Structure 1
């Protein structure tokens, strides 16, 4: 017996030594891999920030000796969520400003700004989030109350869509704006020879460019605060649409220091200096940063009547909105972007803006291709133009919560005929067989569960309308999940490294408290993230 014990010990050691070392074993889960077969498994293994094995718990436990084990207790796990269209940095900046989202009247907004000013006594008063469509009187406000309360302190309050703002006289004076002044691609509202303080689209920039830039500390706080909130809702990659190249340096520094762990797909803004920078440096690609695209604005927003329509607004005769730049500008930048091998991503809301951009794209792309040029929002379309997406492999990048936020008033803007080919996500998906989904936060809430819910149920958070808004354009749950994972990754040329739980991909994943593929529609908005992992590292855990 004494001789047998050492032999048994050696046998155990030998068996144990055959196991492969690993950093993390995730087991006893319902794992939606979102691979080509949409397989579900119950375990996977992570080493060096990447997934090295996917399969069954008992099999993987026999093969791998992991330093950490996550027993999911039968909870559902999904690939890390990707927001294919957002404003990550600006969202972080907005967190330090007056929050006007959900205010129900101009009086409520003024009260909010006044309260905010008492705790923020220096510099400009800045806020964002008002929406006159949610007020009893659905009209743009007037600056007179702001002038009386803040005669010397400049105030800028941006509409929820970012395409309009109201400013006080002090801000107008700083910008040198006069009654009757005009600007291409924008509006400076003047009534009875007096400025109302309302600025739309390009006019907003006249004041914004006079505002002092954020400090280095504010920039860092914007990124880290945005990151914390995004991890808490399961986002592991965010497409930040329309940054200036100067912000790439702090992004790289924060990522290199391990402070900014969020993966970012950055689209540079449509500015000469940004083109010069990226053409000089070429595509910038690291494990957490990808810069290869440009964000271009064709028109404004439907809510502020800046979207460019083919026919008059139904609720404002002799008004069709406008393009933000001449068509020749869009043709010139399309050629520049194509010649240098970059991706073009164009904001287009109205059917006229979409038609202009689709035809410019078609002239450059010339049929089927893998350039993955995107139309951001693709919100209102002429039925005759939808096929241009498929004919030229143009990717519609859409935000399902725009449909459920706009549905109560959009029909007033468009009328019963045009509304039928607006927010047409299923028709758009059918063009290329895939569609990336996003939120456009801070225009909408950052929560991808709201995106998922709006895509499949086409209802607001109160469950209205009962049968769903234009439910024929709803997506299936599988399509919606792919839209916030693998299809979003594909829209960024990143489908080989993220977007699914497969061997060789980054270990970005999310555990939820309920299975969104199984529960009732009504429960979807209440689903919470339990844990978020990026690169195999836990970056969020629900308390």
Structure 2
């Protein structure tokens, strides 16, 4: 009898223990989209030590686990934290510090904003701005530096186009840098002159792509402390949209220390996958450290530029521009250097992520990647943008295991003028997201912020509402911002889905996520990184 009572006691104690496993956090009354292979949807999740312990039905989770922190999600949708697979935190930080030229509707408005900024910062010995886009102006003519020469004759001025592939500078900066004396050595760039007759030409101040490198060393910059503060502002905006990771598309050597400092101070919380610019310092860093990780900073890729941007006619095309027959665009990095970088990456276990917009640039990069594929099939080398392709080249993404990384909002922003640049025939191979997904099987999605808005729901709407043959389903889009983005950074075992053992990095959204028009104004209700709440929507 006593033995039976003892066994009953043990069973009761064991059952009570099982019902009350202690965890750090339980979230319930939710619609949890796990994004796993079965697209399973759950109602509750238990989290301990920054990891997911279990995802399942509400009653099962609440009966099995107890926590000092239990969140009623009020029936809201939960997804893995979004990853922006192509963004520019540093560029956005710089934009926040300088003249904001986004949305200006004319050259006159551009000048007016510069005057306003200078009045607010009278002692600043330079003027930097970013965000102008001449395709928004009547006539779509590129600006000239006539007015900024008059207004800012004694300080350097550099105003970047929205895509960062062109800049308007004043004559003070041109003279200080002696940029005009270096024209004959310039490759992959262009200095625009007002007239075509060589003896009478005068610079307009417009520099395209690599021409900007001639003046860059002569432009003063903000203090590091200013940048660090601005980077945290960028992070705040990311977290409010449920974005918990960014693939930072191009950093210099000094920026590694900046991000590490913010992490050491426990300020930078997002998962940062950084692409190194191809510089001697960065190559030396890789040779010394190999694949590098410092808490939530991961470095194992290089960024390379094959060509420029379509808006400034720097994208490299096989046939001339439809609206500028004298030009095919620009090759920014010579073929041998790209091949050399590909071999360097292969040797050190790094990924190569190449900016390729025009059909000629994409064909060239695919041919370089083919040689790498024959040596290492799972290299996950990426093409960033893959914006315009010759239809015969799509198959090569599958043949050579090339990972496409695209930004659907470009298709919306470029819609009013892309056909002017390309002509109707080439539009068939432009912004072809469904075709790219069908070839490779995965498609990493980003925004290219600050070139486009940081809002991931604009990405969802843009991809969902493409012409029917190239539109993505909602599930495909969400995978592109979660598990596909994780694969694109070799992080699929840690993030990208809400499954047992993975990081408890997730977002609870205020409204249901869909691709319908008018759903761009969604945002996170709560954002969690490794089980810690990093954003909480304040009551309106």
Q: Does TM-score exceed 0.5, indicating one fold?
A: yes
What displacement does 1:143 show? 0.3
Alignment partner, residue 92 of structure 2: 91
Distance 1:487 1:502 in 2: 15
What displacement does 1:522 show? 1.5
What displacement does 1:222 show? 2.8
Normalising by structure 1, we get a TM-score of: 0.93
Q: Deviations over 1:338-395 (max 9, x none)?
A: 1222100000010111111100110121288211000000011001111111001001
Q: Is the 8 A contact 2:245 2:270 kept in 1?
A: yes
Task: Determine which of 280, 302, 305 is the counterpart of 1:297.
Answer: 305
Task: Determine which of 159, 162, 181 is the counterpart of 1:160.
Answer: 162
Is the aligned partner of 1:109 residue 2:110? Answer: yes
Distance 2:233 2:342 in 1: 34
What displacement does 1:13 show? 8.3
Aligned residues: 523
Structure 1, gaps ≥5 residues long:
1-8, 459-469
Q: Is the 8 A contact 1:348 1:376 kept in 2?
A: yes
Task: Determine which of 129, 133, 151 is the counterpart of 1:127.
Answer: 129
Distance 1:175 1:211 in 2: 9
Normalising by structure 2, we get a TM-score of: 0.94
Distance 1:13 1:541 in 2: 38
Q: Is the 8 A contact 1:512 1:529 kept in 2?
A: yes
Structure 2, gaps ≥5 residues long:
1-8, 196-200
Distance 2:172 2:416 in 1: 35
Task: Determine which of 256, 259, 281 is the counterpart of 1:273.
Answer: 281
Distance 1:501 1:180 in 2: 54
Distance 1:368 1:453 in 2: 36
Distance 1:198 1:418 in 2: 28
Distance 1:407 1:94 in 2: 24
> What aligned pairs does 1:315-394 form with structure 2 within 5 A after superposition?
315-366=323-374, 369-394=377-402
Alignment partner, residue 443 of structure 1: 451
Distance 2:182 2:260 in 1: 44
Task: Determine which of 161, 167, 192 is the counterpart of 1:189.
Answer: 192
Alignment partner, residue 472 of structure 1: 469
Q: Is the 8 A contact 1:180 1:190 kept in 2?
A: no
> What aligned pairs does 1:179-218 form with structure 2 within 5 A after superposition?
181-182=183-184, 183-192=186-195, 193-218=201-226
Alignment partner, residue 6 of structure 2: none
Distance 1:487 1:113 in 2: 41
Distance 1:155 1:96 in 2: 14
Distance 2:14 2:346 in 1: 59
Distance 2:450 2:518 in 1: 24
Alignment partner, residue 530 of structure 1: 525
Q: Quick one: structure 1 residues 163 and 384, their matched pair in 2 at CA, closer, same or farther if it must change by over 3 Å?
A: same
Q: Is the 8 A contact 1:90 1:222 kept in 2?
A: no
Q: Deviations over 1:304-362 (max 9, x none)?
A: 00000000000001210120122111111111111222100000010111111100110
Alpha-carbon RMSD across the aligned residues, in angstroms, is 1.9
Distance 1:471 1:523 in 2: 19
Distance 2:499 2:294 in 1: 20
Distance 2:455 2:493 in 1: 25
Is the aligned partner of 1:507 residue 2:504? Answer: yes
Q: Deviations over 1:412-442 (max 9, x none)?
A: 0000000110110100001121100001111
What displacement does 1:245 show? 2.1
Q: Quick one: structure 1 residues 94 and 11, their matched pair in 2 at CA, closer, same or farther if it must change by over 3 Å?
A: same
Task: Determine which of 168, 174, 177 is the counterpart of 1:175.
Answer: 177
Is the aligned partner of 1:491 residue 2:492? Answer: no
Q: Quick one: structure 1 residues 204 and 271, their matched pair in 2 at CA, closer, same or farther if it must change by over 3 Å?
A: same
Alignment partner, residue 53 of structure 2: 52
User: Which shifted more, 113-122 or 194-203?
Assistant: 113-122
Q: Secondary structure at the match of 1:473?
A: coil
Alignment partner, residue 37 of structure 1: 38
Alignment partner, residue 3 of structure 1: none
Q: Secondary structure at the match of 1:151?
A: coil
Alignment partner, residue 61 of structure 1: 62
Distance 2:501 2:264 in 1: 22
Q: Secondary structure at the match of 2:85?
A: strand
Distance 1:345 1:11 in 2: 57
What displacement does 1:525 show? 1.0
> What aligned pairs does 1:213-224 form with structure 2 within 5 A after superposition?
213-224=221-232
> What aligned pairs does 1:197-276 form with structure 2 within 5 A after superposition?
197-276=205-284
Is the aligned partner of 1:139 residue 2:141? Answer: yes
What displacement does 1:74 show? 0.4
